[in-house]
Amino acid sequence: MKTIRQFTALALSLALTSTAFAGIGSDKAVYMGGTAALKTGKEGVLDCTGTENAVFRVKKATEISIPYSAVTSIEYGQKAGRRVGAAIATTILVSPVGLALLLSKKRNHIVTVGWTVDGKNEGAVFEVGKDVIRQTLVSLEARTGKKVEYESEDAKKNIGK
């Protein structure tokens, strides 16, 4: 009986720490900054399925609309880091087993889009979820006619190019 309680406590602690330290949703995007009058850190959806514009929506309201025809640049980069916070929390709450999380890497997928409207340069930086990053880059490239510029060969390799 004691073993079952310990196992349940371990499973519950791992579940809580994994959700507490999760980043953005794997199918979402976060506005990291740019020229839009939008608060940094807003989470939403970067929709590149439209024929005229890419749209960043927060709670079904359009916050940023990027005309494909006006896009001047698309850049992609990654920020890789260790899961230090999750490792510390798991180690404190459960056991030293949490230190194993230090061996895993977390990658943040960063997309920067530049465009011009009425002679004025605009730009936006998004962190895009891991489940939609490839399709976002492919859609932007196809609809704008611009090639994605990769921050490094490592970023290009990790995205599958």
**Would residue 1 count as lying in a domain?**
no
The model's confidence at residue 100, banded by pLDDT at 50, 70 and 90, is: low
Give the mean model confidence (pLDDT) for residues 85-93.
50
Give the mean model confidence (pLDDT) for residues 60-82.
86
Give the mean model confidence (pLDDT) for residues 127-139.
93
**Would residue 118 count as lying in a domain?**
yes
Query: Can you give the residue range of the structural domain that contains 112?
Result: 24-82+104-159
Helix-strand-coil percent breakdown of the chain, rounded to 5? 35, 40, 25
Number of domains in the chain: 1
pLDDT of residue 154: 78
Give the mean model confidence (pLDDT) for residues 85-98.
52
Over its C-alpha atoms, the chain yields an Rg (Å, rounded) of 19
Q: Calculate what percentage of the chain has a pLDDT beyond 90.
A: 48
**Would residue 143 count as lying in a domain?**
yes
Q: What is the CATH number of the domain that holds 33?
A: 2.30.29.30
**Would residue 152 count as lying in a domain?**
yes
For helices 84-93 and 2-20, the axis angle rounded to 10 degrees is 160
> What is the rounded distance in angstroms from the CA atom of residue 55 to the CA atom of residue 50?
8
**Would residue 33 count as lying in a domain?**
yes
Give the mean model confidence (pLDDT) for residues 141-152.
93
**Would residue 145 count as lying in a domain?**
yes
SS3 144: helix
> What is the rounded distance in angstroms from the CA atom of residue 94 to the CA atom of residue 127?
31
pLDDT tens column, 31-70: 999 998 888 889 999 999 999 999 999 988 888 999 999 9
Question: E strand or H helix at 141, and its extent?
Answer: helix 133-144
pLDDT of residue 26: 82
